[in-house]
Amino acid sequence: MRFGRLALVIVAFGTLSALAIKGCEYFPESSFQLADDSRLPRWSTLPPGLTRTDVSVTLNLYSVPWPYANFILRDRKGKKLGEVNGRTNHPSYLPLYDEIIAVNGLSEIIALKPYSENENMGQNGISVVALFYVIDDTCARKEGLEGGLPMCAKNEKNPKGLNSEGCPCLIDPENRAAASGGHR
């Protein structure tokens, strides 16, 4: 008799856990709106007759059952024009709020800007939004997509701390404490 009750409790717990996990798939952990001054990700295509200013993009981030991103393209009236899912990756060398997202073999570096009460983050008549940007900075894209930060010294021979391609040195192999810092 006790075994039957224990089995029932285990089955009930397993079922509830599976439902909870399955339910989490439909609720994003975070949601962001594409900033008006950012370009569309390369995998987004506009319907004929529409321009960038005619559409909005929502980015939803999920971690269950694995990390992925969902992009929803809408017109200004809110009509859904398209939707794609992509694989997310956050290498340790990227800044905290940057992600590499790949959709159909195309990768973009996405900078996330969580909502901050002290900043004016309104957009399209909505006063409280978290924003995301598609990173176009050549140096940042090279660093992010090629998997590392430029290695170069910032010293008297290289006072600006730039590598041979003109990108800022973020790691100085001779003096890590003297690295130049951010690149955006």
Each domain of the chain, given as residue ranges in start order, spans 27-139, 149-184
Instruction: Please give the Cα distance from 145 to 112 (Å, whole number).
Output: 16
Cβ partners under 8 Å of residue 22, min gap 6:
none
Q: Residue 97: what pLDDT?
A: 78
Within 13 Å and on the Cβ side, how many CA atoms surround 130?
A: 15
Could you tell me if 86 and 101 are in contact, meaning their C-beta atoms sit under 8 angstroms apart?
A: yes
Q: Residue 17: what pLDDT?
A: 53
Against a cut of 0.75, is the pTM above it?
no
Instruction: Please give the Cα distance from 31 to 108 (Å, whole number).
Output: 17
Residues of the chain with pLDDT under 50: 19, 21-24, 172-173, 175-184
Measured from the Cβ of residue 144, the count of other Cβ atoms closer than 10 Å reads 26
> E-strand spans in 104-177?
106-113, 131-134
